Structure 1
């Protein structure tokens, strides 16, 4: 079942409100869709969602696919997923976001060819849902409290507070107010997004431990594995690595250097599901749990993440898969993903189990 054609589209989706994170502002969401067709007429769709201040950008991804990756895989079989990955590696170094979009399109087409959900092709289900976390990013105590009340009313049982933007004094007041609002038993996480200042972040992490966060994520720059390891050793709260794992190879380095207690696996960073599972397997061998991280994907990309997380035993800490249901003002799938009792359910049906709304793609297409 050979690949006969590949097309890419950039979409820009509106969001409910902007957010401020440790490394920059989120004002809008750019998505790159990869539409793949086989010689039998089966269509598979993949997606990656870059953020230029985090790693890659949509326009570079589109060009990389069109000029390097697509020509390398045309004529290959959708059954030969590892061969497709090797062909892309031979054509272009790195570029995990672009390769993730391509790999997901291949897997969606393979699932639809076999009339099987992707999770059955990558190990089968170990769970049928994943706990959903929402990231609170207003950086204003009253706005954050208002949004948190709304999220709890929606059924959320997990919240991640984005920090590393305000002064230490205000950050402590803000986390204290949010903890008081949700109560001591609520699952509250803290994410610096690399925003901690090296000379004071350990002291701040120790102060934030008073509010019993489930974990503290990426307190220093991603490249600073020595700093990550130092903080991991110094505090009792688990430390999670995100920006320190911008490829599947970097995941191994974090494990080897004990630079975190948990690793956030985002398919865009690892280059897709196959290599995301390799990171998860290394974590499992090291006794290290994983987290179902995400960028800003629509229902297409989040469905793919659900197939990954629900078929991967090492994913223990829920997910960031909230964007299409709760942050975006519109989605690119015909039916929304199912949110139930604080969880997001893995879609059923062939491929990733969602149908693309091509009219919506047309509305938000740019470039």
Structure 2
């Protein structure tokens, strides 16, 4: 099975409601899609969202990295040479983790098809379904409470609350939500780098003293402030999850070695795909640290790939893969079924994607 060409396209999928965090507001998923074709007729699918504020990857940058750099180490290669191809993809250029992730998952898709097995089984096969949380965007306390009630009606029992945009309102937001959801509802919060270290400890201590029962806080400080992250972890009564601070296995190792966070978040778009996500999961196993699997605002191809990794590794205990259910439509045929909080993987070979509707092709690389 040799790679003969790569097709690049884009999709646009409106969200049900605008997605608001401490650093951005988004109204639609605008992702780059790739198809890796082979001489035996199989096609592997990959996807990458342009999230310049987080990964630095723009749409043009993703397309350029694939067409000008990454494709050169993939086209003409035999999938049997899988390990070496994966190394070459990661070494093909600096940074560009989202572009690498799109190619990575498409290659895993082909590898699974060659072996006639779903990817999650190749990776370990711990289970074939997951329960995800759902994100409640930053808005007024009243609006966030209504969104939380709606999520509970739809069957969710774990909510990820976006905070950090206005610290003075954050506790009011959480109180409003806690007042309208069942006591058993799990609530985790994501500050998206919105606070400094002392502010984080003050706010988290107050949240704890209010008895709001928060599972953990995700990335309270700036991504590069590892010292500040450790300060918060050491002084916060609420557990801390590192997200934007973890782009690579090396980042994860440093955080684990110095105890800068209680948990780490694996996102394929930050680490460069399943290949590197496995490295982070292995380190977490060694250090006895739980992982979350997360996503950007992505359609089903890349979130489906993340779900395969999560189903394969039992160290991934926290699931934040709600991207597809936030979309108003699903142009991806095949792959995992996202039925509100329950994600069930396809048992078809590879990642199970069959085809993509409404894709706009922009380039063919041979």
Above 0.5 in TM-score? yes
Contact between 1:302 and 1:321, CA under 8 Å: does it hold in 2? yes
Cα offsets for 1:187-232 (capped at 9, x unmatched): 1000001011344221011112231111100000010001110111
- 1:81 matched to 2:82: yes
Displacement of 1:185 after TM fit? 2.0
**Matched positions, count:** 360
- 1:24 matched to 2:42: no
State the partner residue of 1:181: 180
Displacement of 1:81 after TM fit? 2.6
- 1:295 matched to 2:304: no
State the partner residue of 1:237: 238
Please say which of residues 259-268 and 83-92 is displaced more in the overlay. Answer: 83-92
State the partner residue of 1:100: 101
Displacement of 1:340 after TM fit? 5.4
Measure, in 1, the Cα distance between the counterparts of 2:229 and 2:183. Answer: 27
Aligned residue for 2:16, secondary structure, equals coil
Contact between 1:160 and 1:190, CA under 8 Å: does it hold in 2? yes
Displacement of 1:155 after TM fit? 0.8
Contact between 1:43 and 1:109, CA under 8 Å: does it hold in 2? yes
Measure, in 2, the Cα distance between the counterparts of 1:44 and 1:89. Answer: 18
TM-score of the pair, normalised by structure 2: 0.93
1:144-183 superposed matches below 5 A = 144-168=144-168, 170-183=169-182
Give the RMSD, CA atoms, in angstroms: 1.8
State the partner residue of 2:7: 7
Aligned residue for 2:40, secondary structure, equals coil
Structure 2: state its 5+ residue gaps: none
1:179-258 superposed matches below 5 A = 179-209=178-208, 210-258=211-259
Q: Where has structure 1 moved over 4 Å in runs of 4 or more?
A: none
Structure 1: state its 5+ residue gaps: none
Aligned residue for 2:237, secondary structure, equals coil
Aligned residue for 1:105, secondary structure, equals helix
Displacement of 1:107 after TM fit? 1.0
State the partner residue of 2:331: 332
Displacement of 1:345 after TM fit? 1.4
TM-score of the pair, normalised by structure 1: 0.93
Contact between 2:34 and 2:47, CA under 8 Å: does it hold in 1? yes
Contact between 2:335 and 2:346, CA under 8 Å: does it hold in 1? no
Contact between 1:347 and 1:353, CA under 8 Å: does it hold in 2? yes
State the partner residue of 1:344: 343
Measure, in 1, the Cα distance between the counterparts of 2:350 and 2:134. Answer: 26
Measure, in 2, the Cα distance between the counterparts of 1:336 and 1:127. Answer: 16
Displacement of 1:293 after TM fit? 0.8
State the partner residue of 2:43: 43
Cα offsets for 1:251-295 (capped at 9, x unmatched): 212112211101110111111112101101101110100001111
Measure, in 1, the Cα distance between the counterparts of 2:90 and 2:303. Answer: 24
Displacement of 1:27 after TM fit? 2.9
Measure, in 1, the Cα distance between the counterparts of 2:176 and 2:54. Answer: 29
Please say which of residues 261-270 and 16-25 is displaced more in the overlay. Answer: 16-25
Displacement of 1:165 after TM fit? 0.5
Measure, in 1, the Cα distance between the counterparts of 2:82 and 2:251. Answer: 22
- 1:275 matched to 2:283: no
Contact between 1:215 and 1:239, CA under 8 Å: does it hold in 2? yes
Cα offsets for 1:287-343 (capped at 9, x unmatched): 1000011112211112111110000111012x2211212x11122212584345842
1:361 to 350, 359, 362: 359
